[in-house]
Homo-oligomer: A and B are copies of this chain.
C-alpha cells in the first residue's frame, strides 16, 4: 500500500510495566480504528489505515521515556485541521504520559495547510523594517472607553511601534463593541501613519461566536487592518486561519486556553509543536508566546525551540515571527535580542504603561531600546 503517510514523534513515559511496544501499539489503534487489534479486519490492516510504529528509541538514562515515531495515512486527515488534531492527539489526550515532540507532515499536506501568507519577509516589506526586531504592544486594559483605547493606539503609532494589537481580552463587549473599537483604532493608527510616514500595522482581536466571526473578519479587512489577532483554541483551531486567509489578513496567534498542553512535561504538546510548528503550518505570521522570566512558566529552552519552529526550513512554508511576551520590559530588550536575534516581534504591554503615562513616550523608549541593543550587538560581533 503506497498511500502517503505523515509522521508524529511521541515521547512516551510508560505508566505501567508493559513493554514500550504495547504502549506504541495502543496509540496506533486508539487514534485510528479505536477497536482492539484482533477485531481489525484484514483489509483495514492491509490498507494501512491503522497507525504504524516506524521507530522506537529509548531516551538517555535516567529517563524512563522512549521516543516513538508513528506514521498515519495522510488521507485520514484530508487536509482538515480538526481531523489532524484528532488523529495526532484526540483520544490519547485522555491517556497518560504522551508528549508530542515532533510533527512531520508531507510536502503536500504543508502546501494544503498553506502556512503564513506574509511571513517574516512579507511583513518586513509592508513595514519597510529590516535588520532589527519589530516592536509591538497591546492596547489595554479591558473596560477603557473606545476613545481612550484609540488615544493609546494613536500614541503608540506616533511613537513608532511596528505592530499594535488589541489585548486579547478585548472581544465584543457592550462597553467597547467590536466594530466601533476596530474602526476607531484603525482610524487612529491610519491618521498617525499619515503624520509619521510610517506603516504601523494593527491586529484587532477577532474572537466572535460562530455566527459573528466571519462578519468581524470581513469588517477588519474592509477597515484596512493589516491582520487579525486570533486565539485558535478559543474560536476553533481552523476558524481564524481560514477566515484571515479568505479576507487577506495577516495572522498573529495568541496562546489563550492552550496552557494545559504545557503543564506536564510528560503529556500534551510542547510549546514548539503547538504554538510554533502547528500554528505556523496553519498560517501564523506571528506567534505570541509567554517568554521565560515573565509571568508564565516556559523555560528558556522551550522558548528557543518555539522560535526555531517558527523559522526553520519547512517545505514550502514561509518562516514566521516568534513574539516573546508576557511580562516583558524595556530593560529586558538586550537579553531578548541575545536570545531571539532580529527575526522576532518583541511584545511589551503593561511595562510601557508603567514607563510613562504618555504612550508616545513609552513607544519611543521601546524603539530606542531596540536600536541600542542592535547597535551593541553589531559592535560586539
Contacts and interface: CB of A to CB of B under 8 A. Distances in A.
B260 A93 contact: yes
- Interface-centre pick from A75, A78, A238, A263 (highest chain B CB count, 10 A): A263
Interface of A: 26, 30-36, 39-41, 43-44, 47, 49, 75-76, 78, 80-83, 85-87, 89-96, 138, 140-144, 167-169, 171-175, 207-212, 231, 233-239, 242-243, 255-264, 267-268, 290, 295-298, 326, 349-350, 353-354
B82 A234 contact: yes
B260 A169 contact: no
A168 B263 contact: no
A172 B83 CA distance: 9
A53 B85 CA distance: 36
Please classify the interface of chain A as helix (H, G, I), strand (E, B), loop, or mixed, using the class held by over half of its residues.
Answer: loop
Given A34-B167, A258-B93, A259-B92, A78 B173 contact: yes
B34 A96 contact: no
A258 to B, nearest CB: 6
B94 A258 contact: yes
A95 B326 CA distance: 11
A174 B78 contact: yes
Copies of this chain, complex-wide, total 2
A22 to B, nearest CB: 12
A64 to B, nearest CB: 17
Contacts of A83: 171-173, 207
Given A210-B238, A234-B85, A95 B296 contact: yes
A65 to B, nearest CB: 15
Contacts of A87: 169
B259 A238 contact: no
A172 B263 contact: no
A35 B209 contact: no
Contact of A169 (B89, B90, B141): B90
Given A94-B255, A239-B236, A256-B86, A142 B207 contact: no
Contacts of A81: 209
